[in-house]
Structure 1
Amino acid sequence: MLRQALLAVSRSERAERVVSSSPLTRGVVKRYVADDIGAVVTELSDRGLLVTVDHLGEDVTDRAQAEGAVQAYLALLDRLPSGADVSVKLTALGLRLNEQLALDNAASICEAVADRGITLTLDAEEHDTVDALLSIHSTLRKEHPDVGVVIQAYLRDAAERCRKLESARVRLCKGAYSAPEALAFTSPKEIDRSFAKCMKILMNGTGYPMIATHDPRLVEIASALAVLAGRDATGFEYQMLYGVRPEEQERLASLGAQVRVYVPYGSDWYPYLMRRLAERPANLAFFARSLLTRT
């Protein structure tokens, strides 16, 4: 119930005004959202971690905003090292305005990253965007075979989607959005089972699995599945969020695993932050302390 409540708050303009206007939120925002993206990327790289960077912003309302999102990503590329990744939400590129517009904008970014040794991953969003997401991903792969896509394990058709994508770069995550019960698992146990099933499919495929979880048990299962599938450390990667379990990120990297940190930046942080709290409600206590503690 707390997760659903937080997801509802993430869509509340009134709540956003209250939270965003408080000077006391800066501490918690800075924990999860990069303030200086160049400095954060350099710091993580120096610690032996890979990065994927997300310029925050979604559900743009006109073409000018969508073009602004494209330009923000193009400007970002000069600040990223080879081997980095960018995470792109198609709604930020105009998906809810026109699917062709989003495809064209995503293709522009794909072309720009291709010569820089940087990859692009199409990020997951609300359940009603999944069909368009996968359609655009399929089209882009014809000219940009390394473009990745996200599958959310909380959706009931996740395993079927993974089977169709077993040769692609796929980021598997639990999911940070809501969906009707007919389309989505609701209990943590069901979501975990779906996640493990999807991991097995991806590990046994010919693509590149990107296992996005902070769950220690699922991390262990991923490691075991990789060994069983004959994958070495270069054959898959773990992905974790900026500000969440940094010690575990470094521990895995020190063991030789590839670990990529998802780093969001930009002023449109409110929906992202609320979804992070919904994913891991224990973070709500930290957030409350940040709001109530004056320095």
Structure 2
Amino acid sequence: MSLLRQPILLLARSSGVKKLVSTMPVTSGIVTGYVPGESTEAAVEASAGLIDDGLKVTLDYLGEDTLDSQQADATVAAYVELLAALGSRALPRSAEVSVKLSAIGQAIPEIGDKLALENARTICRAARNAGTTVTLDMEDHTTTDRTLAVLRDLRKDFPETGAVVQAYLHRTERDCRQLAHEGSRVRLCKGAYNEPDDVAFQDKIDVDKSYVRCLKVLLGGDGYPMIATHDPRMVEIAASLASRYGRAQGSYEFQMLYGIRPDEQRRLAGIGETVRVYVPYGQEWYGYLMRRLAERPQNLSFFLKSLISKK
């Protein structure tokens, strides 16, 4: 599967292939099955539909690797517009936003960390004014410490800001212990980047074991765990651990991607669990889909299976 990585990345940069994928009858359905659209309106409409089904959402305006301040400003403006639109539809009680620091300037040489913090503050302020929250997405391991540093600064004024940790990193159980305090919202995912073995577990069983150890820390702590997984076994283990630690429904939540296992999302919500759907949108949807495959090529088989049966 690793042989597919470079071809997938090459395709991700092809505007011609993007046009072909988005206009062919079958594949255009694939695109809208995983990304609701490019506009704020499309994202808000998709969110309203999910909320009507008893789900919550977190929205991600797609874009990474921002290398100039104007592009970062445009991304911030898109989030401010989104939050205003959510507010006009009375959706913020069930809808928040997820932000990648790389999209708002973190990677810009010399000024990146300062600019990303300032831009994140702007988005957090707009979210608070709208009555909702922000979660800082986590990216590859080289940005982990910098992202957590921005999080600490943000939480001085916006303590409701959520964190993300990735179970496949060796460090994450320790990070969970530091983050599992009262008032802290923490999303636990397995991780999707192609990381070296000196910083990340490579075997699925080791990643799963780390995920469970991190679940125990978060569910046994005083924060608000956000359990991001599509793995039926992990969902079952998380529910069992929640019961073991005396966690009432609503004191934690499950999270899944838009278009992945929608029936399971509704099933969990139907038995009283809080379920939040990660909704990506924007003009960079093609890169999002292709990078998801390329970052960890094992995702390709899961993606293809999900196209056959979106259960």
Instruction: Name the TM-score, length of structure 2 as normaliser.
Output: 0.87
Q: 2:263 aligns with which of 203, 227, 247?
A: 247
Alignment counterpart, residue 276 of structure 2, candidates 237, 240, 260: 260
Alpha-carbon deviation of 1:281? 2.5
- Describe the SS at the equivalent of 1:239: strand
Q: Of 150, 154, 164, which residue of structure 2 is paired with 1:150?
A: 164
2:67 partner amino acid: T
Contact kept, 8 Å, 1:10 with 1:270, in 2: the verdict is no
Structure 1 residue 173 and structure 2 residue 189: aligned?
yes
Where in structure 2 are the equivalents of 1:8-157 lying within 5 Å?
Answer: 8-9=6-7, 11-12=9-10, 16-22=14-20, 23-24=23-24, 25-35=27-37, 36-80=42-86, 81-83=91-93, 84-97=95-108, 98-157=112-171
RMSD over equivalenced CA pairs, Å: 1.9
Structure 2 counterpart of 1:293: none
* Counterpart-to-counterpart distance in 2, 1:16 and 1:101: 30
| Residue identity opposite 1:170 in structure 2 | V
**How much has 1:102 moved relative to structure 2?**
0.2
1:60–1:92: 8 Å Cα contact kept in structure 2? yes
- Please give the alpha-carbon distance, in whole angstroms, between the structure 2 residues aligned to 1:100 and 1:233: 38
Aligned to 2:242: 226
State the partner residue of 2:224: 208
Structure 1 runs of 4+ off > 6 angstroms? Answer: 286-289
- Residue 244 of structure 1 deviates from its aligned partner by 0.2
Give the total of aligned pairs.
287
Asked if the contact 2:9/2:291 (under 8 Å) is kept, the reply is no
Native 8 Å contact 2:170 2:199 kept in 1: yes
Matched residue type, 1:271: G
Cα 1:156–1:9 shift into 2, 3 Å? farther
Q: Note if contact 1:28-1:287 (Cα within 8 Å) is conserved in structure 2.
A: no
Distance 2:270 2:34 in 1: 23
- SS of the counterpart of 1:77? helix
Q: Cα 1:12–1:146, aligned 2, differ >3 Å: closer, same or farther?
A: same
Superposed, 1:267-282 pairs within 5 Å as: 267-277=283-293, 278=297, 280-282=299-301
Question: How far is the alpha carbon of 1:287 from its aligned partner?
Answer: 9.2
CA positional deviation for 1:34: 1.1
Gaps (5+ residues) in structure 1?
290-295
Identity %: 46
Secondary structure in 1 matching 2:134: strand
Partner of 1:235: 251
Structure-1 separation of matches of 2:14 and 2:193: 17
